[in-house]
């Protein structure tokens, strides 16, 4: 009806969040606007490489995951907008990597393709996030639940968040995860619960019947099956999986360190994502208007990428490994060494094991195009995990992210800067501070 319902989000000082009913339809609405504007779109194409000519972005390669058609796009400018919250590098208690907080089909292609083409990437050391989830169901909603006055309680029936954040349950999300994890280590849980029984009934109704189905359309089915009732029962919750993501570093015009390559997936939430994506596109369009012709495509490179893309279909099943095996092994490594408590020695072991798994990636086998797509997602997951471990090992401190590092238990004020990773012959080169402006 043209009005807004606004609530206070995690750690925020006021009612900054705008609730969006049926949020999952936004993408389709936006797609309609784009098509109606007469813009050519290539649906179901998985981008696998950004192309450059003389160091400037000039197109991209991809393939259609339904038809297997290989696609070569020549362009004056390129915008990467493949999301920044990469999932499937760890899992939650369900061990189902698709039953998670964030979109399970974002597997860090933005970071991986950007890094591969030489763009500086950032936040791999700090953008490692988790949220509380309803136990066994990857539908978060905790921003709304916590900030509506819900209390988190442990197995002993105690409210404990006062120990971890001055704003208690509506404090910073990282503190809720850290606090719950600490309670768990001390044996005060599981189980953990969110208690909404005292909250105003209209608010609770909104949380269960509007907010949660907005986060996952099947929430109502799950709630029916489990007898979930926010108003009258405790909601059991768990610490969810960790996201290992990041983004391509940009300057104020959303351009990356590779000229003519822009990035639209910079912000974490809808408002920023929409404005940032729009502005990246606008800047790329303005730049393109001043370029007479798109750069030249390296045909040999395109042919070799095409061969690599379809290679898993040639690997014999009895000699190969499936994406499920390699992904599960990746998650085992990351869950074990890269959780909420870490050590430098543990991260070094994680790196060794992830590199071993990356060395097995040529053995990935696919029977179908769908499996082929998953094979490439698995490769991206391995790459982003490797980069995240390396970046985290550079950040010798505790306190700026959701994990604690035993070797460096204090916050280091010298590290209050972004860490950039730039590809070189011998792996990433690290640089503290902002990306150099073009
Ligand atoms: C359950 C849930 C609840 C949320 N709730 C809120 C909320 O209440 N308020 C809020 O502001 N934000 C919320 N968010 C966050 C918000 O949805 C994101 O911040 C926003 O969608 C990010 O936009 P983006 O365009 O950067 O990335 P995305 O929307 O993730 O888009 C990235 C796109 O890239 C595609 N892609 C990935 N890899 C490739 C590849 N190799 N080739 C081609 N395409 C590729 C993906 O399929 C996807 O369509 C929520 C997110 C989730 C998952």
Average pLDDT across the chain, whole number: 94
- Give 107's contacts (C-beta < 8 A, 6+ positions apart): 86, 87, 88, 377, 378, 380, 381, 384
pLDDT for res 438: 52
| Closest C-alpha residue for ligand 1 atom 36 | 82
Tokens of 121: 């990437």
Tens-place pLDDT, residues 242-283 = 999 999 999 999 999 999 999 999 998 888 899 999 999 999
Q: What angle do CA 24, 129, 125 make, to 5 degrees?
A: 130
pLDDT number for residue 26: 85
Q: Is residue 206 in some structural domain?
A: yes
Tell me which residue range forms the domain holding 363: 309-415
**Chain position carrying tokens 């997602």:** 377
| Centroid of ligand 1 to alpha carbon of 140 (angstroms) | 14
Residues in the chain: 438
- Ligand 1 geometric centre to CA of 268 (Å): 9
Instruction: Identify the pLDDT of residue 437.
Output: 57
**What is the distance between the alpha carbons of residues 118 and 424, in angstroms, rounded to a whole number?**
8
Residue nearest to atom 51 of ligand 1 (CA): 102
Residues 327 and 234 in one domain: no
CATH number of the domain bearing residue 323: 1.20.58.100
Query: Which residue's CA is minimally distant from atom 31 of ligand 1?
Result: 83
Is 84:247 a contact under the CB 8 Å cutoff? yes
Report pLDDT for 297: 95
Lowest-confidence range among 208-222, 308-322, 347-361? 208-222
- 104: in domain: no
Please give the C-alpha separations between residue 118 and each of 46, 138, 181, in angstroms, as whole numbers.
Answer: 20, 34, 37
The pLDDT assigned to 4 comes to 80
81 occurs within a structural domain: no
Residue 423 lies in a domain: no
Residue 36 banded pLDDT, cuts 50, 70, 90 = very high
Confidence of residue 304 (pLDDT cuts 50, 70, 90): very high
Beta bridge partners of 422: 429
The CATH number given to whatever domain includes residue 150 is 3.90.700.10
Q: Which atom from ligand 1 is nearest to the alpha carbon of 271?
A: 11
Residues 219 and 136 both lie in one domain: yes
Please indicate, yes or no, if residue 283 is contained in any of the structural domains: no
Q: What is the 8-class DSSP label of residue 364? A: B
Residues near 3 by beta carbon (within 8 Å), at least 6 away in sequence? none
Other C-beta atoms closer than 10 Å to the C-beta of 291 total 14
pLDDT band per the 50, 70, 90 thresholds, residue 436: low
């Amino acid at each position: 009806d043209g009005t807004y319902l606004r609530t206070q989000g995690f750690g925020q000082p006021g009612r900054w969040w705008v609730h969006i009913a049926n949020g999952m339809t936004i993408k389709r609405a936006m797609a309609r606007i784009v098509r109606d504007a007469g813009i050519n779109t290539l649906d179901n194409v998985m981008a696998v490489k950004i192309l450059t000519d003389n160091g400037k972005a000039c197109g991209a390669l991809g393939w259609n995951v339904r038809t297997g058609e290989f696609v070569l796009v020549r362009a004056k400018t390129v915008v990467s907008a493949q999301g920044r919250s990469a999932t499937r590098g760890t899992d939650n208690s369900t061990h189902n990597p698709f039953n998670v907080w964030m979109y399970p089909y974002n597997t860090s292609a933005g970071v991986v393709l950007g890094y591969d083409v030489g763009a500086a990437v950032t936040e791999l050391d700090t953008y490692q996030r988790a949220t509380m989830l309803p136990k066994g169901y990857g539908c978060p909603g905790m921003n709304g639940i916590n900030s509506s006055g819900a209390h988190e309680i442990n197995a002993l029936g105690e409210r404990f968040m006062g120990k971890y954040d001055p704003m208690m349950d509506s404090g910073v999300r990282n503190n809720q995860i850290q606090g719950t994890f600490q309670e768990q280590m001390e044996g005060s849980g599981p189980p953990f619960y969110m208690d909404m029984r005292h909250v105003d009934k209209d608010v609770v109704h909104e949380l269960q019947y509007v907010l949660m189905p907005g986060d996952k359309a099947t929430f109502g089915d799950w709630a029916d099956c489990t007898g979930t009732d926010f108003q009258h029962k405790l909601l059991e919750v768990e610490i969810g999986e960790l996201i290992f993501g990041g983004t391509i570093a940009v300057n104020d015009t959303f351009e990356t360190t590779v000229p003519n390559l822009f990035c639209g997936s910079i912000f974490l939430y809808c408002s920023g994502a929409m404005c940032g994506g729009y502005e990246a596109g606008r800047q790329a369009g303005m730049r393109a208007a001043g370029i007479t012709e798109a750069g030249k495509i390296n045909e040999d490179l395109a042919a070799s990428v095409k061969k690599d893309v379809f290679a898993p279909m040639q690997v014999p099943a009895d000699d190969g490994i499936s994406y499920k095996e390699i992904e599960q092994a990746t998650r085992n490594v990351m869950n074990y060494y890269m959780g909420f408590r870490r050590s430098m020695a543990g991260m070094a072991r994680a790196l060794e094991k992830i590199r071993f798994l990356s060395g097995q990636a040529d053995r990935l086998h696919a029977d179908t195009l769908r499996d082929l797509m998953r094979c490439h997602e698995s490769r991206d997951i391995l790459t982003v995990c490797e980069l995240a471990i390396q970046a985290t090992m550079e950040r010798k401190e505790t306190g700026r992210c959701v994990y604690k590092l035993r070797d460096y238990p204090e916050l280091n004020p010298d590290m209050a800067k972004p860490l950039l990773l730039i590809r070189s012959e011998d792996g990433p080169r690290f640089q503290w501070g902002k990306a150099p402006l073009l």
